[in-house]
Structure formats: C-alpha cells, structure tokens
Amino acid sequence: MGQPQQGGDTEKPPLGVGMVGYAFMGAAHSQGWRTVGRVFDLPRRPVLAAVCGRDGQAVRAMADRHGWAAAETDWRALIARDDVDLVDICTPGDSHAEIAVAALAAGKHVLCEKPLANTVAEAEMMVAAAEAAQERGQMSMVGFNYRRVPATSLARSMVAEGRLGTLRHVRVTYLQDWLVNREFPLTWRLRKEAAGSGALGDLGAHIIDLAQYVAGERLVGVSGLTETFVRERPLPGGASSGLSAVSGAGGGTGAGSGVGTVTVDDAALFTGRFASGALASFEASRFATGRKNSLRIELNAERGSLAFDLERLNELSYHDHTEPGAHAGFRRILVTEPDHPYLDAWWPPGHGLGYEHTFVHQARDLVHAIAASRPPVPSFADGLQVQRVLAAVEESAEKNSVYTPIAV
Amino acid sequence: MGQPQQGGDTEKPPLGVGMVGYAFMGAAHSQGWRTVGRVFDLPRRPVLAAVCGRDGQAVRAMADRHGWAAAETDWRALIARDDVDLVDICTPGDSHAEIAVAALAAGKHVLCEKPLANTVAEAEMMVAAAEAAQERGQMSMVGFNYRRVPATSLARSMVAEGRLGTLRHVRVTYLQDWLVNREFPLTWRLRKEAAGSGALGDLGAHIIDLAQYVAGERLVGVSGLTETFVRERPLPGGASSGLSAVSGAGGGTGAGSGVGTVTVDDAALFTGRFASGALASFEASRFATGRKNSLRIELNAERGSLAFDLERLNELSYHDHTEPGAHAGFRRILVTEPDHPYLDAWWPPGHGLGYEHTFVHQARDLVHAIAASRPPVPSFADGLQVQRVLAAVEESAEKNSVYTPIAV
Amino acid sequence: MGQPQQGGDTEKPPLGVGMVGYAFMGAAHSQGWRTVGRVFDLPRRPVLAAVCGRDGQAVRAMADRHGWAAAETDWRALIARDDVDLVDICTPGDSHAEIAVAALAAGKHVLCEKPLANTVAEAEMMVAAAEAAQERGQMSMVGFNYRRVPATSLARSMVAEGRLGTLRHVRVTYLQDWLVNREFPLTWRLRKEAAGSGALGDLGAHIIDLAQYVAGERLVGVSGLTETFVRERPLPGGASSGLSAVSGAGGGTGAGSGVGTVTVDDAALFTGRFASGALASFEASRFATGRKNSLRIELNAERGSLAFDLERLNELSYHDHTEPGAHAGFRRILVTEPDHPYLDAWWPPGHGLGYEHTFVHQARDLVHAIAASRPPVPSFADGLQVQRVLAAVEESAEKNSVYTPIAV
Amino acid sequence: MGQPQQGGDTEKPPLGVGMVGYAFMGAAHSQGWRTVGRVFDLPRRPVLAAVCGRDGQAVRAMADRHGWAAAETDWRALIARDDVDLVDICTPGDSHAEIAVAALAAGKHVLCEKPLANTVAEAEMMVAAAEAAQERGQMSMVGFNYRRVPATSLARSMVAEGRLGTLRHVRVTYLQDWLVNREFPLTWRLRKEAAGSGALGDLGAHIIDLAQYVAGERLVGVSGLTETFVRERPLPGGASSGLSAVSGAGGGTGAGSGVGTVTVDDAALFTGRFASGALASFEASRFATGRKNSLRIELNAERGSLAFDLERLNELSYHDHTEPGAHAGFRRILVTEPDHPYLDAWWPPGHGLGYEHTFVHQARDLVHAIAASRPPVPSFADGLQVQRVLAAVEESAEKNSVYTPIAV
C-alpha cells in the first residue's frame, strides 16, 4: 500500500490514526485527516496509519484510494497496532460502544461518529470509559461535525458574546427526502437493531447537539411525535451500494428479493423547553420532498436573531434588534472572512467552503486538544446527553407525546 | 358625510355593508369594500352604508375618512338599518358571537373576522345561527383572509389537482416580534377576557385554517406547548394608539400607570396529525425577533412540495418531484400571471399585490356567493373547527402536552 | 354615472382630476386617486371629475367602473371643464406634449406619465410651458412612480444622509419577457411613431430616473447598444386587448392579418458615467425570459451599498461597510415600519404593499405640492433630462456605441 | 521533505507535476493535485514532484506544508526535472509566456493559470508553441477553473442540449470589494507591468471565458469603459502578506513608505454582441462594496433562462419557458445529485462543495485528457481568444467606448 498519507509537516511528532468503517463517513474522515495538516498549523502530524473493514478486498481498495498505509479486517487488530494513537470510529451506531470502550482500554484516543451510541446505557458505559481514560491522558470526542461549519461556529461565538440576550425561541429542522420513493430498499439505516432509530437518531442527534451548542444551554424536556410512513420496503440486493444503503463496517448483503419491515421512524417532530425557558421546535425527516440536506436553525432572542441553512453553509443570517428599526433586518454574513472561525487558513473572502471541510476542522480541533492534553468538545458526556434527549423523545412519542423531562 | 362610496357599477343591485369595529381590521375591510367593485366584475354593487364604533367622534371621523355613508355608535342600531344587507364584524373576539347571532336574527348576511369566537361554545352557537339563517338565504363567512392571497389560492388548487400526491408533512409558522420589548403596554390583545388567547388565537387561528385549506384535509389531534415570556407589562396610557394596541370596537382607555398581568400566551407551538396521517408542526409567536409578519407554510408530499412566505406574498415555491432529479428544484412562481387566482383583474405580470388585496378578494368571493345564494367558504363551521383545534391545543398545553384529539 | 368618487375628507377643498387615457396607466392612476384621501391626511380632496378616451362606449364603461363622474371623448373638452383642476395624462408618449401644453395653457396643473415625451424637442417645449405655468401657480410633475416605492424612497434618504459615501457603481436592469413569443402582435408599443422607442423609452426611462434619483446625481455621458431581435410581427387583431397591447387613448385597431415591421428596440444596454465619476450600467429588455418586471438597482459606494428588486418591492438590501467585516453583510430591510416613507398611513410591520400603491403615493405627494404651491418632483425638467439621456443612448447606439455626453 | 504526496492509486502510472508559483493559486492547485486521485478514478496517478519559487526558504516551507517532494528556486531547473511531466504555472501573468514556451520546448505538458498572458502577442506565441507541442503529444490547458463548478458545467450541458434555444441576453458581473479601502497597498496586482491589467484581466478574463463557455459561442465585438477610482496607494511594506498582496513567484518586498501610482483599472464595464446576435453585458470590479466574490451570470434565451452566482456555487437557477406560465418560475437546482457533473464521486445530495473543488475537477479533466492524448479544454487558443476580447475592451475604452470587433 506504500507510504502513509501524512497530513502536514514532517518534523512534527506523528499522530497515527486508525479508522474503523470506510463508507460515507470513512471517506469524509479520510479527507479530513489527509487535508488538515496541509492547511492548518498543527502541533502534531496526523498519519493515516490503518483503516479497518470486514470485507478485506474492499477495505484494501479503500485504503489504496484514500491513502491509508494499512488495511485491517478486524477492528481489534486495528486497535492493537502500535502505529495507531487515535481510533476513529465510523461504523453504524450498534458497534460504537464496544469499539470505543476497547480502544480506550487499549490506551488510544477516540473519535466516535454520532450518535454516540444506540442506547443511553451504551452511551453511559462509553462516558465512564472515556472519563477514566481521560485521567490517563487519553482524549475522547464525538463527531458532531456541524459544530465545525464556520457559520455555526460564528453563531456560537456571537451568542457567547451576549449579542443575542435572553433566548426565546430555537427552531430547527433537518430535512432530507431520500426515502420518499417507496422502492428505496430496506438498508441498515432502516433497521432498529443496526441504526437504533431512524431520522430521529441520524438527523435528530445532529440538530439536538447543534441547537444546544449554539444556544449554549440544554433542553430540559420534550414532547415527541414520530411516524413511519412506509412500513414495508424491498430487501436490498446483494452488493448494495450508495452511501445511504451501505453498512459502514461490513457492507450490506441481502436476498435482494421480498420485502421487510421498516423498524425505525421516517420522521420525528418534537417541541421542548430549554433551561432558560426558551421554547424549542425540532423536526427531522427523510420524507421532506425536495429538501436534500436542509438543516436549518433559527434562534430568536431579546437582542437579536440568528439563522443558518446547511444548504447554504457559507452564510449566516443575523438580525441585530438593538439597531433602529428603520435600518434593521436580517443580514447575510458571508462567513468567509479571515477573522471568521477556521477561515484564516483558507481562501480569500467569498471563496466558500463545502461540507467536507467540517471534517478537516474537526480533525484540527481534535489534534490541538490531544497535543495540549485538553479535553475536546463535544465530549462523550455531551454525546450521552444528546442520547438522553433522543430517549426522552422516544419515550414521549410512546406516551402520547406527553412532556418528558430529560434525565440529568 | 355625503354620498356613500360605491364599489363599482351603478346599474347593479346594491349590497349595503354595515361594519362593526373600525381599527386595523376596519381600515382593511373598508379598503376591500371600496375597491372590489372597481376591479372585479360583480353581480352586486357593494355600498359602504354604515360603520359602527362606541366613540362617536372617532367613528364619524373614520366614516368620513373611509367613505362610509353613516356612522353608528350602537351595533344594534347598525344591524337594524334597512340599508345594511351584510354585517361585517371587525371587533375583538369577545363580541363576535353576540353581534353575529343578532345580525343573523335580523336577516343580515354576516362576515365575521377571525378567530370566529373566543370559545368553542360561542362558536357552536354561531354555527347554529348561521345554519338556520342559511336556510333563509342568508350567508355567513369567517374572515380567514390569507386564503385569498393569490399564491395560497394557487397552492390550494395545485393540491386539489393532485399535483402533490400523498401528503407527508405540513410545517407552518407565524412569527411576529412586536412583544419583544418588555415595555410594550398591556393592550386588549394581551387580556384573555377580550382576546380569548394570545399568539395562539390571533396567529395560530390563521395558520390552522390556512394549513387545512391548502392541504385539503383536517387535523385530527395535537400536542401543544404555550408560554408567556413576559408576565407583567405597563398598563396602556390614555389614548392608546397603534394598530396593535387599540380596541377595535371601543378604543383603549387606561390609567397609563402601573403594571398589569398578561393573561394570554406570547407563543404557542404544537405538533399534530392530519386525517391522512401526515405530520404537522405549528408555531405562533409574538417574540420572534426580526420576523415581522412571517407566516410560512410548507407542504411535503409524495409527488411534490409547496412553500409560501407571507413576507413575499407574490411568490409560491414549488418543487415537482416527478421531474428528473438533475433538473429539479424549488421554483419561485411569481404569482402575478393573468391565469393565476384573482389576477386577471389586476396588473401585468410581475406587478405585485399587497396585504390589503386579500380583503378585496374576500369581498369579491363573498359578493359572488351572496348573489348566487351559494354558501361561501370559509363557513362558520370551518371557523368552529379551527376553534376546536385551538381548544385542543390549549387543553394539551394544560395537560403536559399530551396528544389531544380534535373534537368532531 | 352618478356621484364622483372622492378620495377622502368631505370638508376639504376639492381638487378635480381629469384623466386622459384609460388603459393600464389609467386604471392604476384611478386606483391612486380614489385611494389616496382614504389613507393619507391631505390638504385637498381629490375628486375623480372626468376621464377621456376616443372610444365613447369604452370610456363610459371605464368611468363607471372606476368612479369617474364624467366621460369625455375629446381631450380638449376635458381640459376645458371647470371641474378639472389637474390634468393627468396617461396616453402614449406621442400625445404628451400637445395635451400637456394645452392643459397648462388652460390653467390646469399637470401630471404626465413617463416618458415625458417621445423627443427632446417636445420635452423642451413642455418644460418651457411648465416653467411659465409655474409662475402662474400651476404645478407640473412627471409620473416616475418608482420613486414612490417606500424602499426606493428609503434608499434615496439613506444616500442623502451620507450613509453611502463616495459612489463607485450604479447597476440597473429592467427586465421583462412579454416579447419573447414571436407571435406577440405589433401593438402601438412596438411602433416608433406612437411609442418613440421600445424598451429604451418604456423601461429605460424608469431606470434612468430611478438611478439618478437614488444616487442624487446625474449621468454625464453614455455608450449605448440597442437591438430588435424580432423584426416582423403579426398585426394586432380588431379589438386588441391585454394591457400591453392596447392603445391608451384610443384602443388599437388593426386588420388582424399580415405582418408588420417592428420599428423600436427590443432591448437596450448602456454604460455611462455619473457626475461624480461613478460608473453606471443599464439594461432594459422585453426579452429576458422568466423576468416579469425585474427592475433591479444596486449602488456600491465607499461606505456601503444598497440593492433593490421591484419584484420584491417591500424589501431594501443594505450593506454597511463601516461595520466590522466579521458581522457585516447585506441586510434585508423589510420596508414596512411606521417610520419608513409613506408607511405611517398603512398597515402594521410586515404587511406589505403592492405595485399600485406607488400611484397612491404619487398622488399624495402631488396634492401636497399643489396645496403648498411647492413645485413637485420629478419636474418636467427632470423628465426632459431623462429624455436627453435616452437621446444620447440612441445617438451612441447609432454611432457604434461611441461615448456620448448628455446635453445639459 | 519526505515522500511525495500521491493523488490516488499506487498501481497506476505516475504523472509528475511541477508547479511554478506558490501563493494563492499555488495553494489551490496543490489542494487539487493532492485530492484528485483520492476522489476520482484516474488513468494516471498525479505525483506532487516539485514546486518552484524565488524565495528558497519560503518555497521549502510551502513544499513541506503542501506535500511537494522537492522545492526549486529556478523555474528552469524545475522544467528540467525528469520527474516532472506536467508544468503547472501559477505565477503572475507577466511570466506565463516565457515559462510555458520553455516547458513545452522541454517536452512537458502545461497547465497555465489565467489570464493566459498579459498581451495578445505573448498569448499568440504560447498558442503557436502549444500547437506545435500538441503534435508531439504534449497537452496544454489554461486554468479557467470556473468552468469546473458543477453548476456551470451543468449550465453548459443544458445549453448544449438545446434546452434554452435562441440566445438573447448574457449578463455577467464579477464583483469584489478588496480595493474599497484607500489604504490598501500597491501590490503587484495593481501594477501594469506585472498584472497586465486590473479587474479587467483578473476578473474580466474569468467571466469572458465563462460566458462564452456556457453560451457555446463567442463574442464578436465589445464597447468598453474602464476606470481607476483610487490612483495613488501606499507602497506595500516589507513582508507583505494576504493572498491578494503577495507576488506568486517571489513575494513582495517594498519600502513600506511613500505612495505609488496604480497603473491598472479598478473596474471595467463592457457591452458586446455574440456571434448569434445575442447582447452581452459585463462588469468586473474590485470596488463593489459588500460583494466578496460575486461572479454572477445569467442567460436569457427563447426557451429558457439560467442564472448562477459563485457565492452560492452549489446552486443553478433555471427557468423553463416551455412550461405553462401559471406554474413556471426560476427553480433552484441544488447541483449535488449523483448525475450532476463531477458529483458521482463526492457526497450525498445536499452536501455541497466549495471553491477549491474546481481545482480538483480541473486536475481530473486534465489527467484524463493527457492519458487519452485528447486535447483538453480550455486550450491555449481559447485563452488567446479571451486575451483578444480583453484587448478589444481596452482598445474600445481608449477610443471613447467605440464598438470594437474582436480579432479572429
């Protein structure tokens, strides 16, 4: 497989990355690790040491394509490698807990894709392991990459600076439409045992984390409503492909005939309250026809408002309510200025970034945290709290939408 | 006061309008009645016969300003006038039932502003009166004017034609921000005894009706959450002014000192289910900083989606999901073509209409219905059903957001 | 025909309006005169005294529809009427000069639709007449109604306040698409003898005036390019209809068979320089497929920028370049606040206006000017200067686009 | 410096890249070469062999940062290297001709940044060299990277499919604002001897190429207007930094005191005609306050229109004029579907790309062309023709904007 790809300066101490899973998230994380040291000044030099997947041929091809120095077919072997300092978990949620706990036990730093786990119990176990490991100097982070869009990061800093004042409303939707077609096959993302939940865990986890991150406060209770619009779908054919249809750690195999039952939600709506008393509205759906990756968040507060749309990720809308009404209005900040988050390392103003750059930024922040022995955010504890919100939504949905407090 | 303003052709039989209430809605309805016959071909000629308000001097000034032939200070006197064929009720919700029932008893047609009433019981009484009157040839309509925006009307017809197919999601917000300032006074709209409820009844009633109208189906249950962010406000001063602060039928008088308790909601959120199984999300707020009159509705269905924003009321967004994906996307239909609803009577393409034209269109549709002895929509029964949704939201909000069926 | 429509208060001295021409502009002006006194406090009460058109039956129907007290078929008779104080000229450009000069000679105030005339010579004659009349207390105004959109009026005041600083660029387009279809008939607007020019005079006149108005300075030279894409078109049939196809003062009659030659431009582009050295770019076209009434103007200056789009006429975009770059961006001012131009008389924030309201505002400003014996703007001299710019564009276009100074 | 970065599969024949210049364009091209083989299936494997710049220390740091295997300080040495198959020229325009001609003479393929040269004569020499080299199997391409935005590429294919029909209008602007501040220093981009021209060559070259590419036809004549708003600027200080202020091949050193004369244009406007008779409007400026990288292009044609804005580069607006008017409108195609250009190799729908991906796509297309011995586009001849348009604009601007034919 040749020389490992190296993210950046050769004189810096290396940080060996071992990645488990190599589908959509695997490709995105590869891009992040390969690019980060070329763009940012880092205290350590990320090395793409090894990637792991169950299908040997496929994982070797992926390693060759993406510049991973080695390929493994057993994640335990990957964890055991000396050249791996950091384990990057990109598998479906059902294997997160086992891999993460083992990696931490093996003395590795861990980056785990979201949602942290499929259940609160698993997530609690992971937090315990992460906190113990942290005392040994190992860092853990969960991959809520949408915190690393420059525009959302700018939103967070504007809230933190007090520009918005008392929060009144948070309104978030994450809308996709890849399940509208009733013939879309029953992939792992539609089976509860692999995915935990549907739109709720996949999309809802993102917007719960993002809303709490930008708002700087947590939800205290929710009232949920979920639905599975299409309850039976064709089983996927042999070598299923397509980013949404492939199992991250192994690939989907199926009879390719007959139908199966969808066991997760197609859409989830919930309202809730933040600690400050602000009201929240959330909607996650894979049936929002025409909306491809429409994560929108808006905050309304006493001194101003912010709005963001992932489909226009280089922009942040800001209304400053302290201005005279005659000249006030939502302004479109093009978040490409050198003093915007992450932007001093990139291109001149107006030359926008894309989706994948969130993974570059995530890698940057994690490398800095590891080098400084400073716990990165979002922590596993943050991931657990999101899990608790998800669990409360599910519990509420099962109980006729009754308002359900978030466990602390 | 001189000759009455006449909406259109002098050779047509007149339709005498008597309006009760003369504040914001009164001005808007006056504009509608005065203009409708100048723009549309009508079977009858609306005559602005008389307007009624408790403050004689103010109502006479208003009559003179807006071209009403006479002014009354007692609504019973207005109803009794021979030159009044239609009573147009623009007062706060607490007086709707009494005036409407009396007007129907007096043999008049009735147009009643939304929400139909402050309680379900009142609304039921009004429906009974309206149905009895209808058998005598009197027509009743409730003033959900946002059905008469050409773009929403086009949306309805596109849904009715089957362009959207099976409905999955309806997402509606109605956001304003005039209560963000804590010093805004405690006007009648913030007192339960006059207004019935706050954002819920004022804004929520609009979006419940509009969503059901465009979708062509009804909500079957809801889960609600309401909040009053600012619980005490200064009492309004003597001659309160400003459209939001004035009582429609009497004018606000107040000590102008001290504070009082806000007894209605500042914001209301609710989720729900439509009869077809589609999921719905509603939010009404007077605390959405920077949003002035932002009524937005989006429908996602199996064959397409529609989106509308009242702040850009000449536009309708439409995504046709039956098109090849490579060329598909939300298109912005500028709803100003001659074959768009109501538009053949107006200006050339691209020369947009405004808010007030909804009242012209409402008048047009009502005059046609009366002339044809055809029951207009939305009927009082439609208004009652909206009232039942509002009641279910309030009930749910009081019961920890538990899912609450809509009474049928 | 009954009582004349009266715009407002009965106790104020009347201002009798006599309108010549009754097609598109006639309808729009009627709306303006009828509404203005109902909405604004005026020193005089506009009375719709008489309307004039060559087709007696049509003009009587129009008078009845729109509330004009009398109908005339000879504009000289209209001018001679004692109950006409103000002559409002809504005919095609070829008759403006004759009517205006006669009306002024008869002691009337004059409002003349744009473009002021079809030639500079005619316009000069009109200015001379207007200036002489002004000494006798008669006022003249040219109908550049787009100055009266609240958003453009706000733009002007922001420039006048010095918010923008040194001007660098003005970029204006006025795009329509009603001539894209090659079968659209050869109406008066496509014949040089009636219309003077095509897109240049019709649309270009608007944007020249608007650009100079908002910028607060004048063009000093231009370089032009014009084109007629479709040179032959079918002759219009008997009773041509459609706002664009009808002659304002007489109605179009045609054989309805055969084709004729288009003698005006379909599109005109020109660049130019403002007195301050700012660069300007103009484009007017009736062939911009999909653009219905897309008048867009943008100004870039040292301290900020402004942008406006007539298809979203309730909005003004403003970039404040004196703000820190990290929070700067074009803001969308919803021009519906009570302290925005004209808005204190209308609806609450966010309840937008439409195209026709520009005529209400034009009427308001003219009535105030007449009552105060204060010369209104835009004056005939302003209209003449626009005519000179149009002439310079045509001259440049004929001379291989060579830069052509504007005559002073 | 360690192992060279390799763009992709190790078993494929390598393609050694040697890059001259290492500033803004150098960084962008590095990103392109490093990423292309990781994302796309390529017939050859790009190897980042060597980078060249005059400042040895700076170029070595850049090589280390970006993964170039070697650093050179003399471009002749770079050209002479055996491991360099392709010379990628990222220097200012004044050195393009010499380097390109020498590289072609040395048997290398050449990719040259735009504009191809600073003069027509240089460009002609380069074309001659490129055509001779092509007969020897060497390929040459000019770096008009905006052809490789998926949305512009989609636009081109839609035009080529005949979806638009007869073209009427092309309207293009490229607006930036980095010169608004009068204190911005006199960098190489503002000196004629290094940059050739100002906004015209830098931005104008991009939009001339893009407009002709998307339209599928060429300009035949232009009428131009240029201006230098700020004629004196401070000389740049010692270690000038900032992408816009740095010399690509050497770095800017300056006294850091005193002022110098700007010898290029700050803004350039021109109108023109396409071969088909369509009219064109172009504007390039560095003084468009608030516009950061606003390249906008719109085409209006008989059967439809297209619009694109580089600040929202994942979107293409399309109006299909063959649809019924009542449902037609500009649709926003989110150009992120797998069947959109380049997109099958990237992320799921809605997960957008950024500016730098144009360089990945450019590298992809060039590698394919080289491997297939198929001349890539845009060719040097295409670059020369753009140069001739630029020259015609300058000539016209010098001759009072007179319409000036483009030399063929």
Band the pLDDT of C253: cuts 50, 70, 90.
very low
Residues 6+ away with beta carbon under 8 Å from A34: A5, A7, A48, A66, A67, D34, D35, D38
Name the closest residue on chain B to residue D331, using Cα atoms: B331
- For residue A255, the model assigns a pLDDT of 46
Helices vs strands, H then E, count in chain D? 11, 17
Put simply, the answer to whether A271 touches B273 (Cβ < 8 Å) is no
Give the closest-approach CA distance of D53 to chain B in angstroms. Answer: 43
Residue B251 has pLDDT above 60, yes or no: no
Exposed/middle/buried for D405, CB within 10 Å: 0-12, 13-18, 19+? middle
Q: Which residue of D has its CA nearest to B319?
A: D331
Asked whether the beta carbons of residue A225 and residue B279 sit closer than 8 angstroms, the reply is yes
pLDDT at C250 over 80: no
Secondary structure (3-state) at B173:
strand
Find, in chain C, the residue whose alpha carbon is nearest to that of D325: C290
Residues A152, A154, A160, A163: is their CA dihedral positive or negative? negative
> Which chains sit next to A, with 3 or more Cβ pairs under 8 A?
B, C, D
Contact: B24, C348; criterion CB under 8 Å: yes
Superfamily classification of domain B14-146: NAD(P)-binding Rossmann-like Domain (3.40.50.720)
Which residues in A lie closer than 8 A to residue C340 (C-beta atoms)? 326
What gap in Å lies between CA D186 and CA D195, rounded to an integer?
A: 12
Residue type, D66: H
B331 forms beta bridges with B318, D331
- pLDDT tens digit string along B212-228? 999 999 999 999 999 99
Q: Residue A239 pLDDT more than 50?
A: no
Q: Which of C243, C348, C350 sits opposite B294 (nearest CB)?
A: C350
User: Do C14-146 and C148-405 agree at the fold level?
Assistant: no
Give, for A76, the enclosing helix (H) or strand (E). Answer: helix A75-80
The DSSP letter of residue B336 is -
**Amino acid at site A296:** R
DSSP string, A272-328: EEETTS-EEEEEEES--TT-SSEEEEEEEETTEEEEEEGGGTTEEEEEETTS-GGG-
Which pLDDT does position D252 carry in this prediction?
A: 39
CA distance C358 to D100: 60
CATH for B148-369+378-405, among 3.40.190.10, 3.40.50.960, 3.30.360.10, 3.30.420.40?
3.30.360.10
The domain D14-144 is placed in CATH, from the list 3.40.50.1000, 1.10.3470.10, 3.40.50.720, 3.40.30.10, at 3.40.50.720
From the list C41, C68, C42, C43, the residue with the least C-alpha distance to C53 is C68
Percent of chain C's residues with pLDDT above 90: 89
Nearest CA in chain C to D281: C269
Share of chain B above pLDDT 70, in %: 93
Is the CB of B403 less than 8 angstroms away from the CB of A400? Answer: yes
Taking only the tens place, the pLDDT of each residue in D206-215 is: 999 999 999 9
Which residues in chain D touch residue A12, judged by CB atoms under 8 angstroms apart?
none
- Chain segment C312-363, per-residue pLDDT in tens: 999 999 999 999 999 999 999 999 999 999 999 999 999 999 999 999 999 9
Smallest CA-to-CA distance from A20 within A146, A120, A369, A80 is with A80
Indicate yes or no: CB of A34 within 8 angstroms of CB of D34. Answer: yes
Provide the shortest C-alpha distance from residue C123 to chain A (in Å).
38
| Predicted TM-score (pTM) of this structure | 0.95
Write down the pLDDT at residue C256. 57
pLDDT at C242 over 60: no
In the prediction, which pLDDT does B307 show? 98
Question: Hey, are the CB atoms on D332 and B329 less than 8 Å from each other?
Answer: yes
Q: List CB contacts (< 8 A) between C290 and chain D.
A: 300, 304-305, 319, 321, 328-330
Residues of chain D positioned with their CB less than 8 A from the CB of A11: 64
> Across the interface, do D180 and C271 touch by the CB < 8 Å criterion?
no
Select from A12, A38, A42 the residue whose CB has the most chain D CBs within 10 Å, as the one to mutate to test that interface: A38
Q: Is it the case that residue B350 has pLDDT exceeding 90? A: yes
Q: Peptide bond preceding D14: is omega within 30 degrees of 0, i.e. cis?
A: no
The CATH number of domain A151-353+379-405 is 3.50.50.60: no
Work out the percent of chain A whose per-residue pLDDT is above 70.
Answer: 93
Contact D326 B332 (CB under 8 A): no
In the numeric block, which tokens belong to residue D156?
Answer: 């081109």
Least reliable range by pLDDT among A233-242, C89-98, D210-219 = A233-242
Contact C314, C353 (CB under 8 A): yes
- Give one DSSP letter per residue of A4-35, joined into a string: PPB-S-TTSPEEEEEEE--SHHHHHHHHHHHH
Predicted local distance difference test score (pLDDT) of residue D327: 95
Query: Can you tell me the distance from the alpha carbon of D253 to that of D239, in angstroms, rounded to the nearest whole number?
Result: 6
CA distance A184 to D226: 56
Could you tell me the pLDDT band of residue C237, with boundaries at 50, 70 and 90? confident
Q: With an 8 Å Cβ cutoff, are C277 and D229 in contact?
A: yes
User: CB distance C334–A329 less than 8 Å?
Assistant: yes
Give the per-residue pLDDT at A367: 98
For the stretch A277-322, pLDDT in tens is 999 999 999 999 999 999 999 999 999 999 999 999 999 999 999 9
Arithmetic mean of pLDDT over chain A:
93
Lowest mean pLDDT segment, chosen from A28-37, C236-245, D326-335: C236-245
**CA–CA distance, D242 with A341 (Å, rounded to integer):** 17
Contacts of C281 in chain D (CB under 8 A): 269, 281, 283
Q: Do D334 and B332 touch (CB under 8 A)?
A: no
Residues in chain A with CB shorter than 8 Å from the CB of C329 are: 318, 331-334
Chain A CB contacts of B281 under 8 Å are 269, 281, 283
Q: Would you call C177 helix, strand, or coil by DSSP?
A: coil
Angle, helices B24-39/B357-371, rounded to nearest 10 degrees: 60
In this model, does residue A52 exceed pLDDT 80? yes
Predicted confidence band at A256 (pLDDT cuts at 50, 70, 90)?
low
The reply to whether residue D328 touches residue B326, judged by beta carbons under 8 angstroms, is no
Touching subunits of B (3+ CB pairs, under 8 Å) are: A, C, D
Per-residue pLDDT of chain D (408 residues; tens, 9 = 90+): 334 455 555 678 999 999 999 989 999 999 999 999 999 999 999 999 999 999 999 999 999 999 999 999 999 999 999 999 999 999 999 999 999 999 999 999 999 999 999 999 999 999 999 999 999 999 999 999 999 999 999 999 999 999 999 999 999 999 999 999 999 999 999 999 988 999 999 999 999 999 999 999 999 999 999 999 999 999 997 544 333 333 333 333 444 579 999 999 999 999 999 999 999 999 999 999 999 999 999 999 999 999 999 999 999 999 999 999 999 999 999 999 999 999 999 999 999 999 999 999 999 999 999 999 999 999 999 999 999 999 999 999 999 999 999 988
For residue D348, which residues of chain A lie inside 8 Å, CB to CB?
24, 178, 243-244, 293
Rounded mean pLDDT, A120-128: 97
pLDDT of residue A408: 85
Taking the CA of residue A383 and the nearest CA in chain D, the distance in Å comes to 23
| Averaged pLDDT for residues B387-401 | 98
What lies within 8 Å, CB to CB, of C296 at 6+ separation is: C171, C172, C173, C174, C175, C307, C308, C309, C310
Q: State residue A10's pLDDT score.
A: 63
CATH architecture of C148-405: 2-Layer Sandwich (3.30)
CB pair distance less than 8 Å for D331 and B328: yes
State yes or no: pLDDT of A242 exceeds 70.
Answer: no
Tell me whether residues D292 and A24 touch, CB distance under 8 A. no
Cα–Cα nearest to D396, from D191, D212, D226:
D226
Residue B11 and residue A307: Cα distance in Å, rounded?
A: 55
Amino acid at B107: G
Domain boundaries, chain A: 14-146, 151-353+379-405
Pairwise CB contact (< 8 Å): A267 & B329: no
Chain B positions touching A176 (Cβ under 8 A) are none
Across the interface, whether the CB atoms of D329 and B337 are under 8 A apart is answered: no
Of D227, D300, D328, the CB nearest to C279: D227
Residues of D in contact with C223 (CB under 8 A): 223, 225, 271, 400-401
Instruction: Give the closest-approach CA distance of C35 to chain A in angstroms.
Output: 25
B44 pLDDT more than 90: yes
Confidence bin at C408 (pLDDT 50/70/90) = confident
CATH 3.30.360.10 fits D147-405, yes or no: yes
Q: Do B291 and A300 touch (CB under 8 A)?
A: yes
Distances (CA, A) of A286 to A144, A293, A307, B301, B368: 19, 9, 22, 12, 43
Candidates C65, C335, C340, C332; CA nearest to B354 is: C335
C311: closest chain B residue by CA: B350
Binning pLDDT at 50, 70 and 90, where does residue C252 land?
very low
Chains within contact range of chain D (3+ C-beta pairs < 8 Å): A, B, C
Sort out which chain C residues have CB atoms less than 8 A from B6's CB and list them: 2-3, 67
